[in-house]
Amino acid sequence: MRKQGLQIAGFAAVVAAIQLATFLTGNVYHLTQLTMSAYYSLVVLGLCILTGYAGQISIGHAGFFAIGGYLSALLTTHNFSAHGGRVVSGLAAMGILARRPDLYGGELLTVHPWPACILAVFAAVAVAYAIGGPVLKLKGHYLAMATLGFGIIVYRIVLGTELVGAADGIYDVPAFPLLPGIAVSGKSSLRVMNYYVAWGFVILGMVFLMNLVRSRVGRALASIHGAEDAAEAMGIPTARYKLKIFVVSAAFAAVAGVLLTHYNGGIGPSESSVMKSVRYLAIVAIGGMANLWGALFMSLILNYLSLRGYFGSFDDAVFGVILILIMLFAHEGLLRRQLLDQIRGAVIRRGGGDDP
Amino acid sequence: MTLLSIRDVSRRFGGIQAVDNVSFDVPHGAITAVIGPNGAGKTTLFHLISGFLRPDRGSVVFGGAEILGLMPHQIAAKGMARTFQQTRLFPKMTVLENILVGRHLHSRGGFVACMLHLPFTRREERAVREAGREILEFLGLSGQADAEAVRLSYGQQRMVELGRALACEPRVLLLDEPAAGLNMRETAEMGRLISRIRERNVTILLVEHDMSLVMDISDEIVVLSYGQKIAEDVPSAIQRDPEVIRIYLGEGDA
């Protein structure tokens, strides 16, 4: 546990060092992409625990991200004042609906971001429960195809629904006041704060998942990955555990979707595209599959590079190629423990050779 | 006293009656062995008892309650642990971690409690690890605690699998060919281990091919042939049973 605390502290220091570096080099605007990377990293971490540890693949996680993001965006932008009626005024009285000025000086009556966020995450969790039950009975390629199908369905629904802006998506999404004085917002004056808020969420998620991995439940999940029948014989309700970790994983994606949508001030259909799901999976794979830290660092680096446009128009292709190469040459992921041990061993041997 | 009672259990696969109306009792505290030639239905019978397969007919009563139709993990929770014919250790886990999975039923922490690392999960984890180390000591594998389980010798892997089942603290332990693939020395060692497990007040039901092991340690032997029970008796009587000799040595040879 001590080691875990040190790792977290070390990572927090890295986050602070990056912020300091952008400040000193006058590249403060890079924090925007680094903040977005943080939210994508939440999805990656949730997928890492599902696929890397519990061994259940998902190529539909962008779907959960989109359900969270779109629902929160819809509720916080849809003007309820036109509907009138007692229900609307009741909700307004409870503070669930709140008035805010729109861009043109008019007034909007929309759902407050907090209830919208809670509802959005619950919706994603409910969908995960509903599809997880039947889908997680499948294994391997079949599970991959079923989750891929789910991702495609979400994408087509989002793209074809006028209410959520079809191809344009939803924009003018308001800031999300998390606590007094702290808001998830893309305003440039709040850039540094939002950078720390986003990575704070990642660190919190990381602590939760690291605790889980080292626990009884984590061992049970790894045993399902390793030998499902033996896990069942040890009294582990494998079907229920798979469903629960699928839901936890979907919740991570949905929370990320909500927060990034409020940060960006909008969401478009590309967030729910299959290529996003492939990207998350590619990052988990290159991070070493059952390696939370590996996934986190790869996510930080690759998402940042991608968002800064370093991959140009080959953006999606880069992640597709990464996934193919990993599956061909390093099934267990790139940053897997054995490889790191080998490198460490080689370094120690070389270092030891100089000793008298 | 009967701990496990198998009554008229049958299972058909397509045109093959794998298990045909088999009934026998497993007395508390004893070692009961099921033997029979290849394809006699021994492993199928094990799968039926432990819930991995559903029988077409019959009943399995364990500790006074019907367990037929329950999921394997529910049967495990009632106090039945099992091993597999082909070792099913969890890869990428150490020997100790493999054993710790066996303590699953003796700890409570759920997803939320474990994510939050609540104080009770910490206490629980200490107790789980202590019990795991005790099992390793019992197996004589304490030195290998942190080795990756699948890197041990085959004989040691079988012992780890047995230890993992033992960590469940079962009332009855089902062993599917515990000596399969072991050399003579390892087989003898396995036999001693099984006898020591019985001394821990664990009832044992085992399926085995190796006659020397079965004759040495069993209190009661059930013989299956083509899915049917053809004999049930103490080892010395089974050894003299002409029908058993016939199916094991082949007709005309006996």
Question: In one letter, which amino acid is B209?
Answer: H
Cβ neighbours of B107 in A, within 8 Å: 216
Contacts of the segment A115-120: beta carbons below 8 A, 24+ positions apart: A115/A75, A116/A71, A116/A72, A116/A75, A116/A76, A116/A258, A117/A72, A117/A176, A117/A258, A119/A71, A119/A72, A119/A75, A120/A67, A120/A68, A120/A69, A120/A70, A120/A71, A120/A72, A120/A75, A120/A254, A120/A257, A120/A258
Neighbours of A265 (CB within 10 A): 17
Give me the residue spans of the domains in chain B: 1-79+170-254, 90-163
Instruction: Give the residue from B71, B117, B171, B172 with the most A CB atoms within 10 Å of its CB, the best one to mutate.
Output: B117
pLDDT at A355: 41
pTM of the model: 0.92
Helical axes A61-77 vs A140-160, angle rounded to 10°: 20
pLDDT, one tens digit for every residue, chain A (356 residues):
678 899 999 999 999 999 999 999 999 999 999 999 999 999 999 999 999 999 999 999 999 999 999 999 999 998 887 776 777 888 888 888 888 877 777 788 899 999 999 999 999 999 999 999 999 999 988 999 999 999 999 999 999 999 998 899 999 999 999 999 899 999 889 999 999 999 999 999 999 999 999 999 999 999 999 999 999 999 999 999 999 999 999 999 999 999 999 999 999 999 999 999 999 999 999 998 899 999 999 999 999 999 999 998 899 999 999 888 888 877 666 666 666 677 777 777 765 444 43
Q: For residue A273, what are its two tokens?
A: 């595209």
Question: Nearest C-alpha of chain B: how many angstroms from A2?
Answer: 13
Which residues of B have a CB under 8 Å from any CB of A? 50, 52, 71-73, 76-77, 81-82, 84, 88-93, 97, 100-105, 107, 109-111, 114-117, 121, 124-125, 128, 164-165, 168
What stretches of chain A adopt beta strand conformation (E)? 97-101, 107-111, 170-171, 176-179, 182-184, 266-267
- Specify the pairing of strand B220-225 against strand B31-35: parallel
Q: How far is CA A236 from CA A12, A194, B204, in A?
A: 35, 41, 22
Smallest CA-to-CA distance from B190 within B222, B163, B224, B151 is with B163
Beta strands in B14-159 (DSSP E): 16-27, 31-35, 57-62, 65-66, 80-82
List beta partners, residue B4.
B26, B62
- Helix boundaries (H) for B140-225: 154-167, 184-199, 211-217
* Chain A: residue whose CA lies nearest to B129: A216
- Can you give the residue ranges of every domain in chain A? 2-305+315-353
The pLDDT tens digits of the residues spanning B60-82 come to 999 999 999 999 999 999 999 99
Domain at B1-79+170-254, CATH homologous superfamily: P-loop containing nucleotide triphosphate hydrolases (3.40.50.300)
